[in-house]
């Protein structure tokens, strides 16, 4: 379970940071189709907010993964 949380957290964190950088600065034109924020037509116009939410969610998953690792070590 910890591995799933860690991998999911890193993917979401990278998607959030990449989407935020792309939305604010327009860098990484080659990565436009790799970012979830740009692929969902529902999020059109809300790319910055969605990227921030993805980044925060990724950070929360990484923190949860670390917490599960610490509880396993305590046992």
Q: Is the dihedral of CA 34, 22, 39, 57 positive or negative?
A: positive
Q: Are 19 and 53 in contact (CB under 8 A)?
A: no
pLDDT over 70 at 75, yes or no: no
Which pTM was predicted?
A: 0.84
Q: What is the mean pLDDT of residues 2-15?
A: 94
Per residue in 9-60, pLDDT (tens digit) is: 999 999 999 998 888 888 777 777 888 888 899 989 999 999 999 999 999 9
- Alpha-helical (H) ranges within 26-46 are 36-39
pLDDT value for 46: 93
Between 47 and 71, residue with greater pLDDT:
47
Q: How far apart are the first and last CA of the chain?
A: 16
- Enter the tokens of residue 46: 């809300």
């Amino acid at each position: 379970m910890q591995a799933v949380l860690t991998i999911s957290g890193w993917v979401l964190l990278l998607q959030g940071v990449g989407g935020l950088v792309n939305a604010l600065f327009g860098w990484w034109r080659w990565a436009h189709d790799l970012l979830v924020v740009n692929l969902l037509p529902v999020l059109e116009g809300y790319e910055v907010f969605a990227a921030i939410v993805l980044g925060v969610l990724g950070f929360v998953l990484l923190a949860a993964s670390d917490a599960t690792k610490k509880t396993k070590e305590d046992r």
